[in-house]
Structure 1
Amino acid sequence: MPSMRILSWNVNGLRAIYKKGFVDWLLKDRPDVLCLQEIKATEDQIPKELKGLPGYISFFSPGARKGRDGVALFTKIKTLSLEYSLGLPGFDDEQRAIVADYGDFLLFDVYFPNGKASKERLSYKMRFYDLFLDLMDRLVAEGRDIVICGDVNTAHKEIDLARPKPNEKISGFLPEERAWIDRLIEHGFLDTFRLFHPEGEKYSFWDMKTRARERNVGWRIDYFFVSLGMRDRVKSAFILDDVYGSDHCPVGIEIEL
C-alpha cells in the first residue's frame, strides 16, 4: 500500500530559513507534502527558487500584516482543489491557513494565533479556536476525513513542555487553551504523536532569546491531528528535533493512501 509523508514546520521567516539551507534540506528529505507556517513574507519577498522546486507544486499565502503570519504548502501530489481561506467571518484577514483537498481527505495547514501579546489577542485566539472546531465538526458530519497540522500555539499536557509549573499562567499553557485541545480530542480528533509516543518527552519549539534549545527547555506546540476515520491509516508520527534553522523544528506523519 503506498504511503504519504507529510511534514509541518513553523519556519519563523521564509527568507531567513531560505538562507539557512532550506532548499538543500527539503530536496534531501523529499516529503510528499510540506506545510509551512509563519513565512513572514509578502508575495514579492518570496525567493523565486521556492516557486519552482523540482518535483513540487508550491502555494503561498502571505500574511496581510507585514513581517508576520502567512503559510505555504509544497506538494508532490496534485490537489483536487486548494483554498487560502477557512471561511471564518472576521478571521481570514491574517492569512493563517491553506486547505488542500486530496480527495479522500482534507489537509489543513494552519498557523493558529498566539495569545501572549494582550488580553485582546488571547480573546482572538480563543474565538479562532472555537470557530475552527465548529468548522471541523461540520466537515466530519459531511463525511470528510481530515488532517490538521501546524503551530497550535498551545502545549496540551504537562508532559508537553519542560517547565509546566512556571508557565501555568502564561498563554500557551493556560487552562482554557489546554481545555480546547481536550475538546478537539473529545470531538473525535487524535493527537497523532501521542498515538505512537504516549510518554515521549519531545519538543518542537524552544525560545531563542534564552538559548533554550541548547538545554532542551522546550514546548510541544506543533501538532498533527487526524479525524477518527483516519486512525488506521496513520503509520507513524514523529518530531524531527535534529533539524535546525528556526525556533521550531518540523513534525510529521506517514499515512497510508
Structure 2
Amino acid sequence: MTPTLKRSLSSAERSISPPALRRKVAQTTDSIPTANTWSSTAGRRQLRIFSWNVNGVGPFLQRQLSFDSSSVSPLRAFLKRHQWPQLVCLQEVKISSKDTATQRQLEAAANDQSSTDEPYYTIWFSLPRDQYNATGFGGKVHGVASLIRNDFTSMLGLTRRPDWDLEGRVLIHECEIRLVIINGYWVNGTENPYRDPDTGKVSGTRHDHKLRFHQHMLEEVLRLQGEGRHVVLVGDMNIARARIDGHPNLRTSPVQHVKNRADFNSKFFTDEKGMRGIDVFRDVHGDTRKYTYHPRGRKWGESGDRVDLIIVDRALNNDLGAVTGTDICDSPQERGHSDHVPLWISIDLSKLGSQTHVCTLGRKCL
C-alpha cells in the first residue's frame, strides 16, 4: 500500500487557506516510473521553480482542447508544457479568503485529467485578511498561491505566511535542505491612502506601505540567512531595477518611484547590511532585454517592464554554484490571459548537501 505524504503543521500554517480538495493518495518516488522525464533521478536533483503573476485565476478554471483531443484545463496544460515543475508560485490570484469554492476549483484545474504516470499538485494559499486595505472587488484582490508537486512535498517542513503580511502577499516555503523559497506579490507604490489595519485611520500612502514591506521582507531574509539557510525570492516585485528593465522608458515620475527603486536595490542588492542578493536573470543573461510585464491593449513589444524577479543569496549562487539555469518566457503565447509572463529558475539540490534543518518549533522538518 502506498503511504500518504506527511506534512508538519503549525498554528501559522493553519491560518493559511488549506489545500481545498480531499487528496488522492500520492505516489512515493520509488513507485514512479524512471522512464517518465518529470520523475527521473536527474529531474529530482534539479529543482525547477516557476513564478507567474496571473492577474486572476478565472481563465484557469475553464477547459481547452489539448493536442491529443482531450479536454484539459489551461493550468494543467501549462504544467505539462513546462515539464511538471516542482513548485509554481502564482501572484495576484484574486480570490476572496471566503471563496473556498474557487480555491477547490483551482486545485482541481491543476490536477485535471491527471493520470497515474503524471504528478499531482497540492496548493497553498495566502489571501487578504486586511479589513481596511484589501477589500476591493469583494476581497478579490492581491493573493498568492503555490502549487507543489506531490513528490516534492516530503522535502518541505513548513509553509507559512508571516504575521506582518495582512494583504495576502507572501508564502514562505521552508525546505529540509536549508533552502527557503518565498513567493511574493510585492506592494505597488501609489499615492493612494494606506489605512492602519487596526483602526482604519489613514496612515500615509501606499508608497509608505511599500517601503515598510521592503523592510519586513529584508528582516525575514536576514533572519533566515542568520540561521544558515539559503533564500530564494520569487515573484512580482513591482520594481524595474534599472534603465535596461523598462521599455521604452523607465518610470521616474513621480519622484517617489525613484526613491522606492533605490530603497529596493539597496536593501536586496548593494547595501553591505542587506541581503546582497543576485538577480539571476542579469547574472546569467547579462544585458539581454526581456520583460515580464506586457500591458494588454497595446501591440506586443511596444511597452514592457521587468518587474518580476528571482533573487538568490550569494552563497547559493557564487559559493555553491547551485543555480543551473533561469529565463523569462517572453512571448504572447506564454503571457496567456495575464499581463505578465512566467519566469523560472533551476537549482541543483545536490550542491546543497544532505544536511537537514531543525525547525525553530523544535522538530526536524519533514
**Normalising to structure 1: TM-score of the pair?**
0.89
Matches within 5 A, 1:69-88: 69-76=142-149, 77-78=152-153, 79-88=155-164
The percent identity for this pair of structures is 26
**Residue-by-residue CA offset, 1:34-92 (whole Å, 9 max, x unaligned):** 0001100133323525246242222122333311011111112114333331233xxx2
Q: Which runs of 4+ in 1 moved over 6 A?
A: none
Highest relative contact order (Cα 8 Å, sep 6+), 1 or 2?
1
Matches within 5 A, 1:1-257: 2-19=45-62, 21-29=74-82, 30-42=84-96, 43-48=100-105, 50-51=107-108, 53=111, 54=114, 55=119, 56-64=121-129, 65=134, 66-76=139-149, 77-78=152-153, 79-88=155-164, 92-104=165-177, 105-118=179-192, 120-164=205-249, 167-170=251-254, 173-186=257-270, 187-208=275-296, 211-212=297-298, 214-231=300-317, 232-242=321-331, 243=334, 244-257=336-349
Deviation at 1:135, TM superposition (A): 1.7
Asked whether the equivalents of residues 126 and 161 of structure 2 are also in contact (C-alpha less than 8 Å), the reply is: no
Q: 1:246 to 1:46 in 2, by over 3 A?
A: same
Q: 1:176 to 1:113 in 2, by over 3 A?
A: closer
Asked whether the equivalents of residues 279 and 311 of structure 2 are also in contact (C-alpha less than 8 Å), the reply is: yes
- Please give the alpha-carbon distance, in whole angstroms, between the structure 2 residues aligned to 1:146 and 1:9: 19
RMSD: 2.1
Output the amino acid matched with 2:184.
Answer: V
**Residue-by-residue CA offset, 1:148-171 (whole Å, 9 max, x unaligned):** 100000100000010335x20158
Output the amino acid matched with 1:175.
Answer: K
- Please give the alpha-carbon distance, in whole angstroms, between the structure 2 residues aligned to 1:102 and 1:214: 38
Q: 1:170 to 1:240 in 2, by over 3 A?
A: farther
**Secondary structure, in 3 states, of the residue corresponding to 1:154?**
coil
Output the amino acid matched with 1:26.
Answer: L
Larger-gyration structure (1/2) = 2
Deviation at 1:131, TM superposition (A): 1.6
Deviation at 1:245, TM superposition (A): 2.0
**Secondary structure, in 3 states, of the residue corresponding to 1:7?**
strand
Deviation at 1:11, TM superposition (A): 0.4
- Please give the alpha-carbon distance, in whole angstroms, between the structure 2 residues aligned to 1:99 and 1:135: 10
- Give the gaps of 5 or more residues in structure 1: none
- Please give the alpha-carbon distance, in whole angstroms, between the structure 1 residues aligned to 2:91 and 2:171: 10
**Residue-by-residue CA offset, 1:198-257 (whole Å, 9 max, x unaligned):** 10110000222xx23523410000011111121010011100122022000101101101
- Please give the alpha-carbon distance, in whole angstroms, between the structure 2 residues aligned to 1:27 and 1:216: 30
Asked whether the equivalents of residues 82 and 98 of structure 1 are also in contact (C-alpha less than 8 Å), the reply is: no
Output the amino acid matched with 2:293.
Answer: F
**Residue-by-residue CA offset, 1:106-158 (whole Å, 9 max, x unaligned):** 01001111113526111101111012112211211121111110000010000
**Normalising to structure 2: TM-score of the pair?**
0.64
Bigger mean CA deviation after superposition, 181-190 or 216-225 = 181-190
Asked whether the equivalents of residues 116 and 171 of structure 1 are also in contact (C-alpha less than 8 Å), the reply is: no
**Secondary structure, in 3 states, of the residue corresponding to 2:339?**
coil
- Give the gaps of 5 or more residues in structure 2: 1-41, 64-73, 194-204, 350-366
